[in-house]
Amino acid sequence: MSSVLSPEMRRRAGGRDIRIVFDEATIAARVHALGQEITAAFPDGELLVLGLLKGSFIFLSDLVRQIDRPLHLDFLVASSYGSEQVSSGNVRLVYDPETPLEEKHLLIVEDIIDSGRTMKKMLALLATRRPASLAVCALLNKNLLPVPIPEVRWVGFPAPPAFLVGYGLDHAEDYRHLPFIGDLN
């Protein structure tokens, strides 16, 4: 498989030369395997899948269709605030799931774990809701944390030290709709 964009994909990317890191077929195969692992990990109880918007939306929609058991689906919208723009360390929920979280197996679906600050704050917040269990499935992990987050049970791919876009990931809201994951630089 070539890492160079076809003319069609180049047009979709607004003419930008993005290098393909994980192509559509590679992603589909991995998402299928993750779905099987997640199915096996939750033999009983109520499973509530929580997609962290907006970056997880494509991964989330593909992943839930590979999970072979009953589940409910909702979203989380986090907002960082403080002096810095992102990863300021302060995270609050600007959309909180309507359904009660108590006694349910919660599976958080995230696009990419970078510094891990967003995820750590989110997990601390959700743990106060007394779920039956709390686990994370991240599409990508940059593996920058000296100590891994124990709740991160599933990772699609280790991420190279690059700025990745596509398959839900954006750069200033561009490129979310690209069907592959690519390196912007």
- Residue of closest CB approach to Mg ion: 55
Q: Determine which residue in the list 20, 21, 34, 55 makes contact with Mg ion, applying CB under 5 A.
A: 55
State the binding partner of 62 from Mg ion, ligand IMP, none, CB within 5 to 8 A by kind.
none
**Cα radius of gyration (the chain):** 17
Least gap, CB of 2 to Mg ion (angstroms): 27
CA distance 31 to 85: 31
Exactly one of 17, 62, 111, 114 is catalytic; name it.
Answer: 114
The counts of H helices and E strands in the chain are 4, 9
Considering beta carbons, is residue 42 or 75 the nearer one to Mg ion?
75
Binding footprint of ligand IMP on the chain (CB under 6 A): 55, 87, 110-118, 163-165, 169
State the binding partner of 164 from ligand IMP, Mg ion, none, CB within 5 to 8 A by kind.
ligand IMP
Work out the burial of residue 119: count CB atoms within 10 Å of its CB; fewer than 13 is exposed, 13-18 middle, 19 or more buried: buried
Considering beta carbons, is residue 36 or 115 the nearer one to ligand IMP?
115
Least gap, CB of 136 to ligand IMP (angstroms): 11
Are the C-beta atoms of residues 141 and 159 closer than 8 Å to each other? yes
DSSP label at 20?
A: E
CA distance 54 to 60: 10
State the binding partner of 95 from ligand IMP, Mg ion, none, CB within 5 to 8 A by kind.
none
Q: Is 114 a catalytic residue?
A: yes
DSSP assignments along 39-85, one per residue: HHH-SSS-EEEEEEETTTHHHHHHHHTT--S--EEEEEEEEEESSSS
Which structure tokens are listed for 144?
């920058």
State the binding partner of 112 from Mg ion, ligand IMP, none, CB within 5 to 8 A by kind.
ligand IMP
Asked if 116 interacts with Mg ion (CB under 5 A), we say: no
Least gap, CB of 176 to Mg ion (angstroms): 9
Q: Which residues does the annotation mark as catalytic? A: 114
**Interacting residue ranges for Mg ion, rule: CB under 5 A:** 55
